[in-house]
Structure 1
Amino acid sequence: MPVVKLTLSDAYYEKLSAMAKTKNKSIQDFIRDTIYEENTIFTPEEAVKRAHDGRFSDGHNFSLPDVYGDDWTIKRGIAGVFGKKFFNYVVDNDVDIEFVSMDKYERRAMYRLKEASRNG
């Protein structure tokens, strides 16, 4: 995968960072989405919405690929970046999802709906 580097002044970096933050995106995702006008389903907000669709209300653990099912089409490296972003989102926001552990291969984070969301 090609890497593109961009040099910005401190002021432009702060402005770009703020613009990305208002869209709740990384700078990389913000630039990609802005330039190519692409919207992706692979956002923490979309993953939370899908996790709460009723499939996991029985208390079973799930991973991000479980949440997306057949829609899980992202490649391994990018999936790791998205996984870290989702983990941070779950930890930093009250979304009634909790991290449980890593799977048996230590490659995928496992989550479950918090008790409050299962009973509410």
Structure 2
Amino acid sequence: MKGNNLGEFEELILLAVASLDKEAYAVSVKLELEERAKRITNISAIHSSLYRLEDKGYLISEFGGATQKRGGKKKRYFKVTNAGFEVLKESKELKENFYKTIPQLALVRI
């Protein structure tokens, strides 16, 4: 596993995969980002981030069954690993610690 630094976009991708649970594949991740984060991006950026997060050890993937609708192509499903959940937890704690030090935001629940 490489370093545990996450960029904002990678963190959003990881959060989307975690929230989608067993239905996380590139298109569903893209739709989740559009709906929850109001982020419009192209599918190749999603694929790049998914593979990069897999290289870092934060995601694992496996192919589902081929379907007639997809012309016999299989979907690649992604799941968050324990290391992925740990890096999300660390990121959340880091941000919460910063928010607590800002008087105007300290009373706002995250």
TM exceeding 0.5: no
TM-score normalised per structure 2: 0.41
- The one of the two structures with greater contact order (alpha-carbon pairs below 8 A, sep at least 6) is 2
- Bigger strand share: 2
TM-score normalised per structure 1: 0.39
